[in-house]
């Protein structure tokens, strides 16, 4: 394994581990606030129990997310010094704002956890709102950095090829900023909300306390359901921005080799890089041109328009994209089903076919997020800053990067095992909730 591949693998593993806890840190506080709000509105003790239990889970997963996020910040500097040397002045502002939002979240999470009997009801609920808002803001600021890497603006190049005339505010407002931030927030609410709904649906199928889990299921669906339904529309917006700013990535997403007008939309298939064709795909005529440009006759640039060295690993990107779309679509369909059942005023907790579907699709949101980040990051290769800096030029010259990669792999496996044990204990505690 080359040092470049080892560095990329370590970064991918760290990000893939951290993103799950980041999503939970965005959505879980909103759910605990909704539970407390319902308790204070209705006086029903079940909602109080929900808020306390979800707050406990939030605290555990927040701690793990803080550790894995800190590791990522160190890896940026240690593994990619070339990137930080040139891009640091541009991305320093959103990272600083993210740090401020993180500390705000940590402080008010402490107030929320230990303030139940120590602060007034309104102050306590407000603390939870700050936790939810700062968690979302923290994610947005980080995503703005990634959006800039995909659509870099806010600088010029001097005679030596270095970044000059730095404008960090313009960099934060890159062409991909809004759509990536929106996509990430919706993904977080959909993944976490539907996962929690799936967990409580599973508990209901096992015959656990119906009142507790029924209310938990309804609140989780209030967060995850609308986000899951809106996510495909956000994906359409993202695809159109990618089509305008990263045509090579779009071609890799769809396995489009030829530059043609009226390009088809492909479902499934396997891109064969040696033969430069995508085999065994179901093709919808003119579908890609219509979705990407809202014009069935629009021209779509193919992969053959650029040298082979400027193309991402097409098979990985295409398969990850298909997985993301498929899993997200399944989540949206089940969320619509749940909405239909609720609209007809039928009891969600007693609708066993729906409960089974929710239990099955529960992890789909997190799996779709992992696939989506593969699309975003691998689809940009070989660039770390699209069109300006190659990943190979940004990596540290230090040799032997396989060793830290292996070390961190073992570390994350151990940390993951600890998280599984802790979450399992919380689930067992929940299974004994009173009816």
d(CA 274, CA 88): 38
Candidates 205, 228, 196; CA nearest to 50 is: 196
15: helix, strand or coil: helix
- pLDDT at 175 > cutoff 50: yes
For residue 61, the surrounding DSSP H or E stretch is helix 45-79
Per-residue pLDDT averaged across 74-78, rounded?
Answer: 84
- Residues 372-403 have pLDDT tens digits of 999 999 999 999 999 899 999 999 888 888 88
Instruction: Kindly indicate the confidence band of residue 415, based on its pLDDT and cuts at 50, 70 and 90.
Output: confident
- pLDDT at 433 > cutoff 70: no
- pLDDT at 113 > cutoff 80: yes
Instruction: Give percent of the chain above pLDDT 70.
Output: 98
b/e per residue, 312-350, with b = 16+ CB within 10 A? bbbbbbbbbbbbbbbbbbbbbebbebbeebbeeeeebbe
- pLDDT at 207 > cutoff 80: no
d(CA 375, CA 327): 14
Instruction: Kindly indicate the confidence band of residue 310, based on its pLDDT and cuts at 50, 70 and 90.
Output: very high
Instruction: Give percent of the chain above pLDDT 90.
Output: 51
428: which residues sit within 8 A by CB, 6+ positions away?
none
**pLDDT at position 208, please?**
65
The residue extents of the domains of the chain are: 3-160+172-259+301-431
**pLDDT at position 342, please?**
86
**pLDDT at position 417, please?**
83
- Residues 232-247 have pLDDT tens digits of 999 889 989 999 999 9
d(CA 235, CA 150): 16
Per-residue pLDDT averaged across 335-357, rounded?
Answer: 87
Per-residue pLDDT averaged across 406-413, rounded?
Answer: 83
In this structure, is the dihedral angle defined by the CA atoms of residues 3, 5, 9 and 11, taken in order, positive or negative? positive
**pLDDT at position 435, please?**
46
**pLDDT at position 209, please?**
63
Candidates 150, 163, 151; CA nearest to 373 is: 150
**pLDDT at position 228, please?**
95
For residue 153, the surrounding DSSP H or E stretch is none
User: What is the pTM (predicted TM-score) of this model?
Assistant: 0.92
- pLDDT at 323 > cutoff 90: yes
**pLDDT at position 59, please?**
86
**pLDDT at position 61, please?**
83
Candidates 405, 424, 393, 295; CA nearest to 81 is: 393
d(CA 317, CA 319): 6
Per-residue pLDDT averaged across 66-70, rounded?
Answer: 81
Per-residue pLDDT averaged across 290-306, rounded?
Answer: 90
Q: What is the mean pLDDT of the chain?
A: 89
For residue 43, the surrounding DSSP H or E stretch is none
**pLDDT at position 77, please?**
83
Instruction: Kindly indicate the confidence band of residue 354, based on its pLDDT and cuts at 50, 70 and 90.
Output: very high
**pLDDT at position 432, please?**
55
d(CA 101, CA 93): 12
């Amino acid at each position: 394994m080359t040092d470049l591949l080892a560095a990329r693998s370590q970064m991918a593993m760290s990000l893939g581990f951290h993103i799950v806890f980041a999503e939970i840190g965005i959505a879980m506080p909103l759910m605990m606030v909704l539970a407390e709000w319902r308790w204070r509105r209705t006086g029903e003790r079940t909602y109080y129990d929900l808020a306390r239990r979800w707050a406990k889970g939030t605290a555990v997963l927040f701690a793990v997310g803080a550790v894995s996020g800190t590791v990522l910040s160190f890896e940026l500097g240690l593994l990619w010094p070339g990137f930080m040397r040139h891009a640091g002045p541009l991305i320093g502002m959103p990272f600083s704002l993210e740090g401020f939002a993180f500390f705000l979240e940590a402080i008010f999470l402490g107030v929320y956890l230990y303030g139940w009997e120590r602060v007034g009801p309104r102050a306590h609920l407000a603390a939870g709102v700050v936790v939810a808002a700062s968690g979302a803001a923290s994610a947005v600021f980080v995503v703005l950095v990634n959006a800039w890497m995909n659509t870099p603006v806010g600088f010029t190049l001097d005679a030596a090829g270095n970044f000059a005339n730095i404008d960090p505010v313009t960099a934060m407002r890159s062409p991909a900023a809004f759509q990536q931030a929106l996509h990430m927030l919706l993904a977080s609410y959909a993944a976490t909300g539907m996962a929690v709904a799936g967990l409580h649906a599973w508990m209901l199928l096992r015959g656990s306390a119906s009142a507790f889990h029924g209310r938990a299921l309804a609140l989780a669906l209030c967060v995850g359901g609308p986000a899951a339904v809106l996510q495909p529309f956000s994906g359409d917006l993202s695809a159109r921005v990618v089509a305008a700013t990263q045509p090579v990535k779009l071609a890799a997403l769809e396995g489009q080799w030829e530059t043609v007008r009226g390009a088809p939309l492909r479902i499934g298939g396997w891109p064969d890089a040696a033969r430069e064709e995508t085999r065994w795909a179901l093709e919808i005529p003119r579908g890609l041109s219509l979705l990407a440009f809202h014009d069935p006759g629009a021209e779509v640039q193919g992969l053959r328009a650029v040298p082979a060295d400027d193309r991402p690993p097409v098979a990985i990107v295409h398969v990850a994209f298909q997985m993301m779309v498929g899993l997200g679509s399944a989540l949206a369909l089940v969320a619509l089903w749940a909405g239909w059942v609720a609209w007809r005023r039928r009891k969600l907790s007693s609708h066993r076919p729906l409960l089974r579907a929710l239990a099955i699709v529960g992890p789909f949101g997190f799996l779709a997020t992992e696939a989506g980040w593969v699309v975003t990051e691998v689809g940009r290769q070989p660039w770390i800053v699209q069109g300006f800096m190659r990943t190979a030029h940004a990596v540290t010259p230090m040799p032997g990067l396989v060793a830290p990669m292996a070390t961190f792999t073992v570390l994350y496996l151990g940390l993951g095992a600890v998280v599984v044990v802790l979450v399992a204990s919380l689930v067992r505690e929940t299974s004994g909730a009173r009816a």
